[in-house]
Amino acid sequence: MTDTPPDRLALNPASPFHDEAAIERSVGIRFNGVERDNVEEYSVSEGWIRVQVGKSKDRRGNPMTLKINGEVQAYFRDVA
């Protein structure tokens, strides 16, 4: 595995951007200079993150998310 995290990553296993190896390696997200630990999905190249909104669920039982635009920096917390 490389030392750079994927450009786009999702925690939801049903997503095509879900990468179990990267998630196990613990990807950290810095959004607009602030460390975030509640990110459900992110895209570095498009500059957005998705965060869970409260405890609300959609009709399929997935958490409701809010897409926020800004500067996204992804990094691995654990050294390989």
Residue with tokens 């959004």: 31
- Is the CB of residue 51 less than 8 Å from the CB of residue 66? yes
End-to-end CA distance of the chain: 8
Q: CA-CA distance, 49 to 65, in Å (whole number)?
A: 10
The number of CA neighbours under 13 Å toward the Cβ of 6 is 18
What pTM was computed for the model? 0.88
Query: Domain boundaries in the chain?
Result: 8-76
Model confidence pLDDT, tens digit, residues 16-43: 999 999 999 999 999 999 999 999 999 9
Q: Is the pLDDT at 80 greater than 90, yes or no?
A: no
